[in-house]
Amino acid sequence: MRQKVSVIGAGNVGATTAQRLAEMDLVDIALVDVVEGLAEGKALDLREAAPVVGYDSSVVGSTDMAITEGSRVVVVTSGLARKPGMSRDDLISANAKIVGPVVEEVVRHSPDAVLVMVTNPLDVMTELAIRVSGLDRRRVIGMAGVLDTARFRSFLASELAVSVRSVEAYVLGGHGDTMVPLRGVTSVAGVPVGRLIPEGRLEEIVQRTRDGGAEVVKLLKTGSAYYAPAAAVAQMVDAILRDRGLVLPCAIRLDGEYGLSGVVMGVPVKLGAGGVQEVLEVELTQSERAELERSAAAVREVTAVLG
């Protein structure tokens, strides 16, 4: 029997995540959404694509969380996007009312699952999921660091006209304006990026990385990114289920690492069976450490809305 992965929320991010997981041909997928027929329709569409693409993954959809029973990993994408006139605190309160009950149901049906959180504000929703679920912090992981790092690597590769595979980088911190792309450890085929890109231009790329999600939203006008977020989730799920020991930047509640505790931040972690197997501490420059501490303060401020 194949392992099961459940995706909660069948919008663009959730449905594209289900597609990527199905095409990996590794797991069976349960897709859940509160909108009647949405998850069922997208699941049916994915099953009908299987003979063409060549996968045997089962994909089922429902409004009923019971279909998630026995999941090894549960991906939570459900929630609202920020709307015009909606404050940050409004968004947190609204999504907390959605994510909290979802997490309760997830744990009831799959008490041994690893939770991968995608709903924004990512750091706050990951903290909420830890509190609601009562799970060990290593089993509740936020996705955004993989996405932010992918954007940084993509922009650097385009700037230098090299393969994205040749660019090594990490983006740490909160998922937002205070994220911390690490210039000091960023390299292209082992060559420090500071030797390849002038400082001023590099800072422009760093800022574009911080604005990456907003740039997509501005272009789309009626939505937000989903191809890259779904790809990031699929990479994390693959690392967990295949016990790869893959080092990726993910959001986890820190417990003394980097001198920080009780705050959810993106940091490099070793992902494998059971979730986070180790938190790795990258050597930071003095300015990078100061940026990380400012990011932690910003995350604490927004998390305080939860009470």
Residues 85 and 48 in one domain: yes
Domain containing 67: what range? 3-143
Q: How far apart are CA 168 and CA 153, in angstroms?
A: 7
Residue 1, pLDDT score: 72
Residue 57, pLDDT score: 97
**Mean confidence (pLDDT) of the chain:** 95
CATH code, domain with 21: 3.40.50.720
Q: How far apart are CA 141 and CA 283, in angstroms?
A: 22
Residues 167 and 87 in one domain: no
Distance from CA of residue 268 to its chain's centroid? 13
pLDDT digit string, tens, across residues 151-192: 999 999 999 999 999 999 999 999 988 999 999 999 999 999
Residues 158 and 267 in one domain: yes
Which of 97, 120, 143 is the C-terminal boundary of a domain? 143
Residues 169 and 230 in one domain: yes
Q: Which of 94-108, 211-225, 288-302 has the lowest mean pLDDT?
A: 211-225
Residue 80, pLDDT score: 87
The catalytic site residues sit at 175
pLDDT digit string, tens, across residues 65-106: 999 999 999 999 999 876 666 667 788 999 999 999 999 999
Residue 86, pLDDT score: 64
Residue 47, pLDDT score: 98
Residue 87, pLDDT score: 67
251's CB contacts (< 8 A; 6+ apart) are 117, 122, 123, 126, 141, 142, 143, 144, 145, 175, 264, 265, 266
pLDDT digit string, tens, across residues 258-280: 999 999 999 999 999 999 999 99
Residues 174 and 228 in one domain: yes
Beta strands of 154-260 (E only): which ranges? 167-168, 171-172, 180-181, 187-188, 191-192, 246-255
Overall number of domains in the chain: 2
Pick 217 or 75 by higher pLDDT.
75
- Answer whether 0.85 is exceeded by the pTM: yes
170's CB contacts (< 8 A; 6+ apart) are 145, 149, 181, 182, 185, 186, 249, 268, 282
Which of 97, 116, 143 is the C-terminal boundary of a domain? 143
Q: Report the candidate in 289, 255, 233 with the shortest Cα–Cα distance to residue 7.
A: 233
